[in-house]
Chain A
Amino acid sequence: MTVKERTAALLPPLLPLIFCIGLAETAVRLGWVPSYLIPAPSEVFRSLVEDRIELGSAAWETLSSALVGLVLSFFAGTLFSVALSSSELARRAFYPYAVFFQTVPIISIAPLLVIWFGFGRPTVIASAAIVSVFPIIASTLLGLKSTEPALLDLFKLYSATGRQTLWMVRMPFALPQIFSGLRIASGLAVVGAIVGEFIGGGGLGSVVDSARTQQRIDRVFAAVLISSILGIVLVGAVNFVSALSLGSWHASERKPS
């Protein structure tokens, strides 16, 4: 892509952003909207710069909690899916509870997590893991069940063991689905971590909470902005790994030739 093409590609999404920032700045400066409702973008920017050390360490704390939660839910979810996919009886017995578990709002069980895990990190990590586990289970299970039947026949023909079938054909076949589950889960893990921090303390969740009580709406906005960037970073990391491992063969990651 040339510089010109890149500019042409970036301009359409950038224009509305520039427009909105300009509009918000004007609206606050001219007193159309009180600054305790919407902060002037310049104020948010100043807060980002002035509080960069505090915001940075809070962001790092939230990101690392979300990441640990995501890794936990990835291993637990994948293990659970493999177990469920290998037995129809197990799937019928346990899958409904996985669905039920997902419908319980995290915000309502977060206080419970504090009771179980206390204030601080463990609660935040548990919250991130709980909200991100279901998409991983659902898509991994779907992926493990969608193996091409003729390939399974081929493995049967050569008396392959269950382990060979799982690692050599069912898992690789499920990879695209596993990654799409992971993509959804990584966004949710950040949400789960921040919800956990509202109640368990620490990270960007605490920053938002304390800035709100101090009526520092510019800081609230700065923290919100950073937390959405964290989500983008995690999703981007998943996309990167996905492109690395599927690039050579899967249609979704193949470059048009």
Chain B
Amino acid sequence: MNSIPQPGQSASGAAILCENISRSFAGAGVVLDHISFQVKSGEFVALLGPSGSGKSSLLRLIAGLDSADDGRLTIDAASGTLARGFVFQEPTLMPWRTVLRNTTLPLELIGCARADAQARAHEELRRVRLVEFTGAYPHQLSGGMKMRASVARALTTRPNLLLLDEPFAALDEPTRHGLQAQLREIWSALGMTVLFVTHSVMEAVFLADRIIVLSHRPARIVADERISLPPARSGDLRTSVDYLNEVRRIGAAMPAAEEML
């Protein structure tokens, strides 16, 4: 029986070093073309790019779900796979398990004691404000609640690298805004490194401190910008002039939609 993963010292994020990463897929050709970038420990970075640009492929490489054809990827994380949390585009909950049992899954897989796993799951469900729904099945939840359960599940191993693949794209706007603010809060509290894939300039600017913009496929990095907004972000920010100026600046760096070319 493994002991429950403990959070490291505060701001214990992982650092990522990508050097000349390339990846091709049969039928799709070259998807990632010599991508190089570096992420500092504890940074909140958005990977922004048009749809089909290979952002998700890059994230899967960093998650260890796929391997690059060429180049070197170094992740300075505490302890291998446990250090990574992944939130998928869909909530990907198991329909036959309750919210609580879905959340304990990663800890069960690594062999933690049931009581410890449940205590940790409760803690994370409280963090995403879902603790009163621990006994519910996924089909009884709204889209936003399912996604919160999915985020709680990713947090149970206390990853120092949290990877998110357009997790809020399918949600309605108020829900999406709420979850964005919540994610930013979680990051402030836990201090892990976050890599957030999105195609929305407004989402990227609201969430991240730094935005890496990818081109159309084959993906290359076309911009790497710091966002100068206050660290604490609330809903008010969305209507502020500073925010809108940043949106305009990043929007100008974003490649035009393919149909418009």
Binding site for B on A (CB under 8 A): 148, 150-151, 153-160, 164, 168-169, 172, 175, 246, 248-251, 254
A248 with B81: CB separation less than 8 A: no
A132 to B105, CA, bound (A): 36
16 contacts between A and B (CB under 8 A): A150-B88, A153-B65, A154-B86, A156-B65, A157-B64, A157-B65, A157-B81, A158-B110, A158-B157, A160-B109, A172-B94, A172-B96, A248-B137, A249-B137, A249-B138, A250-B96
Sample of 19 further A-B pairs with CB below 8 A, known A172-B94, A250-B95: A150-B90, A151-B94, A153-B60, A153-B88, A154-B105, A157-B63, A157-B64, A157-B81, A158-B106, A158-B157, A159-B81, A160-B109, A164-B109, A169-B94, A175-B96, A246-B96, A248-B96, A249-B137, A249-B138
B92 interface residue (CB < 8 Å to A): yes
Least Cβ distance of A110 to chain B in Å? 41
In the complex, B72 has a CB within 8 A of chain A: no
**CB contacts between A and B, total, < 8 Å:** 54
Could you give, for residues 176-219 of chain B, a 1 whenever the CB lies within 8 Å of some chain A CB and a 0 otherwise? 00000000000000000000000000000000000000000000
Closest-CB distance, B77 to chain A (whole angstroms):
13
Residue of A nearest to B86 (CB): A157
Cβ of A155: which chain B residues have Cβ within 8 Å of it?
109
Q: Does B84 contact A (CB under 8 A)?
A: yes
- Chain A residues positioned under 8 Å from B65 (CB to CB): 153, 156-157
Q: Is the CB of B139 within 8 A of A249?
A: yes
- Is there contact, CB below 8 Å, between A249 and B95? yes
CA distance A55 to B64 in the complex (A): 64
Given A157-B63, A157-B86, A158-B81, check contact A249 B109 (CB 8 Å). Answer: no
A150/B92 in contact, CB under 8 A: yes
The answer to whether B81 and A154 touch across the interface, beta carbons within 8 angstroms, is no
Residues of A within 8 A of B110 (CB): 158-159
- Contacting residue for A154 out of B80, B88, B137, CB 8 A: B88
Most B CB atoms within 10 A — which of A175, A249, A254?
A249
The residue in chain A whose Cβ has the minimal distance to the Cβ of B159 is A157
Residues of A within 8 A of B64 (CB): 157
Rounded to whole angstroms, the CA-CA distance of A246 and B96 in the bound complex is 8
5 A-B pairs with least C-beta separation: A150-B92, A158-B109, A249-B96, A249-B95, A150-B88
Q: Could you say which residues of chain B place their CB within 8 Å of the CB of A154?
A: 86, 88, 92, 105
How close is B97's CB to chain A, nearest CB, in angstroms? Answer: 8
- The CA-CA distance from A151 to B109 in the complex, in Å, is 13
Q: Please measure, in the bound complex, the distance between the C-alpha atom of A148 and the C-alpha atom of B91, giving whole angstroms.
A: 11
A66 to chain B, nearest CB (A): 30
Cα–Cα distance between A172 and B95 once the two chains are bound (Å):
9
Expressed in whole angstroms, the Cα–Cα distance for A154 and B108 within the complex equals 13
Question: What is the bound-complex CA distance between A149 and B138, given in angstroms?
Answer: 18
Bound state CA distance, A251 and B137, in angstroms?
Answer: 12
Residues from chain B with a CB closer than 8 A to the CB of A148 are 92
Q: Shortest distance in angstroms between A165's beta carbon and chain B's nearest beta carbon?
A: 9
A157 interface neighbour in B84, B90, B94, B96, Cβ under 8 Å: B84
Give CA–CA (A164, B108) in the complex, Å.
10
Output the least CB separation between A77 and chain B (Å): 22
8 A Cβ contacts from B40-67 to A: 60, 63-65
* Closest B residue by C-beta to A245: B96
A54–B202 CA distance with the chains assembled, in angstroms? 79
Which of A158, A168, A172, A248 has the largest number of chain B CB atoms within 10 A? A158
CA distance A154 to B107 in the complex (A): 12
Q: CA of A113 to CA of B157 in the docked complex: distance in angstroms?
A: 57
Alpha-carbon gap, A94 to B103, bound state (A): 39
